[in-house]
Amino acid sequence: MWFFLRSSMDAGRPSFAFATLFVGILLAVLTPHASSETNITAGTSYTAPTEWTLAGSPYIVAGLLTIERTGSLTIRQGVQVRVLVCIP
């Protein structure tokens, strides 16, 4: 949907305010949205089917992660998984 604002002084040309608004909206739409990171802490255990999706990416694994027999972990394509390694 396109909106065109006309100023009576510009003889049919879009106003400066409109051009500024249009550029702002365009940048907001085209700029990648900040993703929310998901922290997986030590001792996390999955006992049911679990899925890691782009919405929660990146997943930061900071410790032992256990997938029980009754659980599963599906990592969707494009998801980032970052494993923090601590060497004593």
Residue spans of the domains in the chain: they are: 35-88
State the amino acid at position 77 in one-letter form: Q
Q: What is the pLDDT of residues 21-79, one digit of tens each?
A: 444 454 444 445 455 899 999 999 999 999 999 999 999 999 889 999 999 999 999 99
Degrees to nearest 5, angle at CA 50 with 48 and 55: 155
Give phi and psi for 51, each to the nearest 5: -130, 130
User: pTM surpassing 0.85?
Assistant: no
Tokens read off for 67: 């997938």
**In sequence order, what are the residues at sequence separation of 6 or more whose Cβ sits closer than 8 angstroms to the Cβ of residue 27?**
none
